[in-house]
Amino acid sequence: MELELGEELRSFRDEIRTFLADHRIEQLAGIDPQLGYMGAEEDDKSRAGAWREWEAALAEQHLICPQWPAAVGGRGLTGVEMAILNEEFDREGMPRVIRGMGESLVGPSIIVHGTDEQRAHFLPRIIEGTDRYCQGFSEPDHGSDLAGVETRAAVDGDEVVVTGQKVWTSGAHRANTMFTLCRTDPDAPKHRGLSYVLVPMKREDGSSNGIDLQPLRQMSGASGFCQEFIEGARAPLFNVIGGLNNGWRVAMTTLGNERGGHATTQHLRYEREFWELVETARKQSCTDDPLVRQDLAWAYCQVELMRYSGLRLLATLAAKREPGPEASVNKLFWSEYHKRFGNVAINLVGAQGMIRPEGAGYRTDHWQQVFLGSRAGTIFSGTSEIQRNIIGERALGLPKEPAVG
C-alpha cells in the first residue's frame, strides 16, 4: 500500500531526486545523519571538508530545517513533503543535515510563541549550526510531572538568574544552550508561573555560567545523559520565549513536536535495523529455527504497522486535518516495540551477547547496545505509563487515574 502523491508531490519528489543525484558526495554516503546535529568535523575530521560542502549545498536550497516557514529560512514543507524528503535521502543513502533539538523542538516553539525579534535572532543561528541545544526539563523529583519543576528563575534587571537542578539531559556535554523550564512565580498555581528560558551554558568570554555539568554513566557504558547543578546561571530577558510566566504553553508546543515529529518516516530506521538482524541470523545459521523465524516475523509485522501508521498520518496531513492523539500512540508503540526487539536480538546472538568486546572502558557491540539502550525509549520523552494515561484520559475519555495519597 502506498499513498497516491498526485502531480504536485511527484514533481517535488523528482526535484529532490535530481538534487541528490547532482550533489551526491560519496565520502558521506551511508554515514549517520546525527553528525549534522553535533558537527561532523568533531566526530570525523577526515570528512569535515566534505560535510561543509554538503551543508552549503543544502543551505542554498533551504533544505536545512526545511519544514520551517520560508519567512524564517526554511522551505515551508508540509508533513507529506517532509516524509518524501526523508525517504529520498534514505533511498540515496545521503544524510540530511539536521540541527537536533534546535530544529525539531526549540525552533518550532520560537516560531509559534516568539516575538519577531526573537525569531530573527535565534532561528538563523539554529540553521547555521551556531546554537546547539539540550533540554532542561526533567528534575530529580519531577520527571514526568513536568509542571512540578522547582528550578527557580528570578528577574534581575534585564536578566533572569536561574538556580536549581536538571537531570537526564541528552547531549548536554556538546550543547552550548539549554532550553529550560523554570519557576518564575512560586506563588502561582502549578501550571502557571513557569517560564521557558534559553540559558547559555557558558558566558561570552568562555567562563562558566554557573552550570556544573556532570555526565551520567548508563548501563550501556555510554554517558549520553548529564545532570546539571545550576547556581546563578544568567540569561537575558530576551531569551524568555512566550513571555514570563507563560512557559507551560511553550513547553507543550515543544513536547508535541518531540513525541510525534517523525511518525511518518521513523519506520525507515527500524526497517534497516530489522534487516541487519536478519543478516545476523543468517551468519548464525539459525534462520531455520522456528522460534527465530517467529520472532523475526513478529518484528517485521511491527515495522510494517509503523509504516502503515505513518501512511495514515500522511493521509491526515494531506487532507489538511489536524492529527489527534497520534503523538502519544506513536511514542508508546515504537518504544515498547524497540524494547522487545532488543530482547529478540540479544537472544538470537546467544551466549556471545554476554561477552563485551576487548578494549578500554565499558565497550559494547551493536546488538548489546540495542538491547541496553532500547530500554531508555520507554522512559524519555514521557514514560509509557504517562502515554497510556494521555491516550486513556484525553483520547478515550476514561476517568483520570486516582492521585496517590
Q: Which helix (H) or strand (E) holds 227?
A: strand 225-236
Question: Under DSSP, is residue 93 helix (H, G, I), strand (E, B) or coil?
Answer: coil
Residue type at 4 in one-letter notation = E
Q: Residue 366: CB partners within 8 Å, gap ≥ 6?
A: 276
Q: How far apart are CA 201 and CA 135, in angstroms?
A: 12
106: left (phi over 0), alpha (psi -120 to 50) or beta: alpha
183 contacts 151 by C-beta, under 8 angstroms: yes
Q: Residue 195: CB partners within 8 Å, gap ≥ 6?
A: 153, 160, 181, 182, 183, 184, 240, 242, 243, 244, 245, 246, 247
If one counts every other C-beta atom within 10 angstroms of the C-beta of residue 8, the result is: 9
Among 103, 139, 258, 326, the one annotated catalytic: 258
231 contacts 210 by C-beta, under 8 angstroms: yes
Beta strands in 122-208 (DSSP E): 133-136, 152-156, 159-170, 177-183, 194-200
Question: Three cell numbers at 94?
Answer: 545521503
CA 155: distance to chain centroid? 31
Q: How far apart are CA 195 and CA 151, in angstroms?
A: 10
194 contacts 245 by C-beta, under 8 angstroms: yes
**CB-count exposure of residue 3 (10 Å: 0-12, 13-18, 19+):** middle
- Catalytic (active site) residue 42: no
Question: Under DSSP, is residue 110 helix (H, G, I), strand (E, B) or coil?
Answer: helix
Length of the chain: 405
Which of 253, 258, 241 lies closest to 153 in space, CA to CA?
241
Catalytic residues: 258
